[in-house]
Amino acid sequence: MASAESALTPAAAREIAPHLFPPRTTPTRAQIEAGINKCLEVQRRAVTFGKRPFAAVLLAPDNEAVLLMHQSVDQVNHAESSLARLAYCHYSKEYLWQCTLVSTWEPCAMCSGMSSSPPMDRNLVDREP
């Protein structure tokens, strides 16, 4: 028998608490490419300073303005998880629901858990060749 929680779909959640899930705009191909390029710029800068080659960028609801950027600090403070913690300090859950997280690599299990559940569940990933 399924629990009530397991039966809660994203659509049902929006019906129950619509204020937590405001409408969000799907990024265009050009916005996706611009976000990935900005993220790659952060990654290249990190490597220049001897840091690990991982970066993350948080795009505003308009999918163009960059709200936050972060690079991997060390083996525990990864770019995505560090950015997610910073974002939660500065923005409401409702606002973050409308944002997009861009990453240069497929996030690890820790970062996936932190950045793939609401409100930060819209992620774009690209890996520089």
Q: pLDDT tens digit string along 54-96?
A: 899 999 999 998 898 888 888 888 888 888 888 889 998 888 8
Tens digits of residue pLDDT in 3-43: 555 566 767 777 887 777 777 888 999 998 999 999 999 99
CATH class of 25-125: alpha beta
Distance CA(70)–CA(118), nearest Å, equals: 20
Q: What is the pLDDT of residue 17?
A: 77
27's CB contacts (< 8 A; 6+ apart) are 35, 59, 63, 100, 124
pLDDT of residue 129: 46
